[in-house]
């Protein structure tokens, strides 16, 4: 089975599970500056909802079929998604060839950690330095609910930990702090991740390979504005084995 076929049949692309209404709602939240939707990117400040929809369409996402029915499911063009995977492969190949310094982080560890961990291992084997800033800093972050969080690394991939639990997060704070700890953007040659981890890196001007869901439009908007070319839009919440062919494709360098 080809990658494009797998993307379509697995639910990563094709008819995906997030309703059109949720995508449109988050487009409005993004242009309103909701920090859970901006991912640390500033593009929302001069964007309209139509811009966001256009950016999603540029990444292969068709919301028009559900324009009259918010419960309808959007379509992600598997060919566009496969093309994005190929761009990610080329970016990672360049980083591997240069033996650069890389930083990986995820706010969706429950689904994507094995994918990113495989990338971290492959880059390390190619001679890259996989950075782990703040790994020894306990309770570094104060969360809005009063809990304290720390960045911890699993196979080289940073994620937020609270009371021993991996936390789902959209915020850029953790990547921003990780970058500060290594002396700023000049201390890293490439970032791999999602949500605020990817958003903060793109905002800092770092070459970034990222995954975005159809209802997380900040990264597609940044790419539409020419600030990244490594955004892949697929369902980011499936069971981890669904991503294995995608992982194999991006690591074919």
d(CA 21, CA 26): 9
Q: Any bridge partners for residue 76, and if so which?
A: 14, 61
d(CA 253, CA 244): 16
Please report the DSSP string for 50-63 in residue order.
HHHHHHHHHTTEE-
CA distances from 162 to 35, 44, 105, 114, 168 (A): 20, 29, 16, 20, 10
d(CA 203, CA 193): 14
Question: Which 3 state secondary structure label does DSSP give 179?
Answer: helix
d(CA 4, CA 43): 30
Please report the DSSP string for 24-48 in residue order.
HHHHHHHHTT-HHHHTT-SGGGG--
Tokens of 41: 């990117």
Query: What does pTM read for this prediction?
Result: 0.95
The one-digit pLDDT tens for each residue of the chain (253 residues) are 999 999 999 999 999 999 999 999 999 999 999 999 999 999 999 999 999 999 999 999 999 765 678 889 999 999 999 999 999 999 999 999 999 999 999 999 999 999 999 999 999 999 999 999 999 788 788 777 778 888 999 999 999 999 888 889 999 999 999 999 999 999 999 999 999 999 999 999 999 999 999 999 999 999 999 999 999 999 999 999 999 999 999 999 8
């Amino acid at each position: 089975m080809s990658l494009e076929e797998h993307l379509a049949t697995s639910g990563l692309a094709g008819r995906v599970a997030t309703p059109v209404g949720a995508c449109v709602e988050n487009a409005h939240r993004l242009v309103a500056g909701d920090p859970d939707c901006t991912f640390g990117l500033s593009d929302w400040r001069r964007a309209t909802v139509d811009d966001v929809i256009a950016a999603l369409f540029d990444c292969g996402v068709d919301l028009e079929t559900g324009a009259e029915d918010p419960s309808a499911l959007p379509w992600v063009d598997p060919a566009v998604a496969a093309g994005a995977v190929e761009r990610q492969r080329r970016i990672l190949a360049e980083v591997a060839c240069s033996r650069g310094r890389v930083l990986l982080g995820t706010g969706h560890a429950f689904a994507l950690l094995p994918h990113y961990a495989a990338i971290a291992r492959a880059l390390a084997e190619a001679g890259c330095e996989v950075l782990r800033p703040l790994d020894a800093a306990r309770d570094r972050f104060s969360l809005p609910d009063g809990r304290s969080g720390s960045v911890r690394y699993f196979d080289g991939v940073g994620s937020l930990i609270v009371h021993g639990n991996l936390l789902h997060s959209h915020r850029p704070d953790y990547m921003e702090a990780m970058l500060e700890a290594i002396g700023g953007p000049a201390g890293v040659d490439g970032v791999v991740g999602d949500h605020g981890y990817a958003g903060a890196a793109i905002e800092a001007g770092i070459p970034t390979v990222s995954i975005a869901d159809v209802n997380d439009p900040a990264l597609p908007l940044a790419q539409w504005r020419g600030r990244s070319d490594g955004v892949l839009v697929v369902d980011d919440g499936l069971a981890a084995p669904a991503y294995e062919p995608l992982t194999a494709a991006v690591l074919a360098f």
